Amino acid sequence: MSLLVSLRSEVLKSKRTAALYFTLIGAAVIPFILLFSIVGHGLPNEERASKDPINALFKLSSEMTGLAIFPLFIVLICTLLPQIEFKNATWKQVFTSPQKKEDVFVAKFLNIHLLMVLFLVASHLLIWVVVIVAHFVLPQFHILNHSFDAGKILEDNAHAYLSVLGICAIQFWIGLRSRNFIVPVAIGIVLWLIGTVLVFEYNVPATLYIPYSFPAIRYSSLFSPRLPMVEWLSLGYSILFLLIGFQDFRRRRKLN
């Protein structure tokens, strides 16, 4: 029960910040790009997409989101939420409140995951808006008359979510340690760029063990067969860095 109280408190605090709007804006980036492209130029890869337009649009959105937008969103949100306490100088009140430290720590992490789920759900709802608009803008394709593979979309979402668990835990720990917003964000973006370049430009086996490479691995023909192992590693990194982060969080009496 105390964990639920702490989680409710974290959710209420995040509602008073830009986190919710930031999540929805981030989720809208790819749908907006696709909508602009469709209205101006028709379906992307029209010859192929016209045969299965709904699934083609969802697939394209999933690839663009999973490779770049979702990992970068996590880097930013894992920094933004801990900054609430730094900005308001309220860590002392948090540590002296009746809440257990483990409840505070877990609640903050779960709040991030709630925003991650909201990001994915909002992104797909907005793609449906794109599909509906495309149906009327391009009536010759009868887009809404085509089938929709919901199972494949859920599978893609699961892969996207699992592949970023390690990054999420690492960035959460860094975000809790840093009073500065820029430093954790810069670290996350640089490591993500390095990880992505390693996947697509270098055939280094060690890439399979670098958590910041994981979001790009399922889009690599060389590394994607190892995706199940990579997702287990991502979960393992998440547990490891959560334990490290909690031990660090528990031993400190103040963060302000």
Question: What single string gives the DSSP state of each residue in the chain?
Answer: -HHHHHHHHHHHHHHTSSHHHHHHHHHHHHHHHHHHHHHHH-STTHHHHTTSHHHHHHHHHHHHIIIIIHHHHHHHHHHHTTHHHHHHT-HHHHHHSSS-HHHHHHHHHHHHHHHHHHHHHHHHHHHHHHHHHHHHHSGGG-GGGS---HHHHHHHHHHHHHHTHHHHHHHHHHHHH-S-SHHHHHHHHHHHHHHHHHHHH---GGGGG-GGGHHHHTT-TTTGGGHHHHHHHHHHHHHHHHHHHHHHHHH-S---
Give the count of domains, the chain. Answer: 1
Domain assignment present for residue 256? The answer is no
Q: What is the pLDDT of residue 162?
A: 95
Q: Are 83 and 184 in contact (CB under 8 A)?
A: no
Among 157, 150, 151, 141, which residue's Cα sits nearest to residue 52? 141
Q: What is the pLDDT of residue 161?
A: 96
Q: Which two tokens stand for residue 90?
A: 């309220």
Domain assignment present for residue 54? The answer is yes
Q: What is the pLDDT of residue 117?
A: 95
Domain assignment present for residue 233? The answer is yes
- Alpha-carbon distance of 79 to 95, in angstroms, equals 19
Q: What is the pLDDT of residue 90?
A: 63
Domain assignment present for residue 123? The answer is yes
Residues of the chain with pLDDT under 70: 1, 47, 85, 87-98, 252-256
Q: What is the pLDDT of residue 253?
A: 55
Q: Read off the pLDDT of residues 65-75 as tens digits, 9 standing for 90 and up.
A: 999 999 999 99
Crossing angle of helices 165-177 and 150-163, rounded to 10°: 40
Q: Are 104 and 9 in contact (CB under 8 A)?
A: no
User: Tokens 């995040």 correspond to what residue?
Assistant: 14
- Alpha-carbon distance of 213 to 168, in angstroms, equals 13
Q: Which two tokens stand for residue 220?
A: 């690599």
Q: What is the pLDDT of residue 206?
A: 87
Q: What is the pLDDT of residue 69?
A: 95
Domain assignment present for residue 88? The answer is yes
Q: Read off the pLDDT of residues 9-53 as tens digits, 9 standing for 90 and up.
A: 778 877 777 888 889 999 999 999 999 988 888 788 776 777 888
- Alpha-carbon distance of 194 to 181, in angstroms, equals 21
Quote the domain boundaries for residue 51: 2-251
Among 95, 119, 162, 152, which residue's Cα sits nearest to residue 30? 119
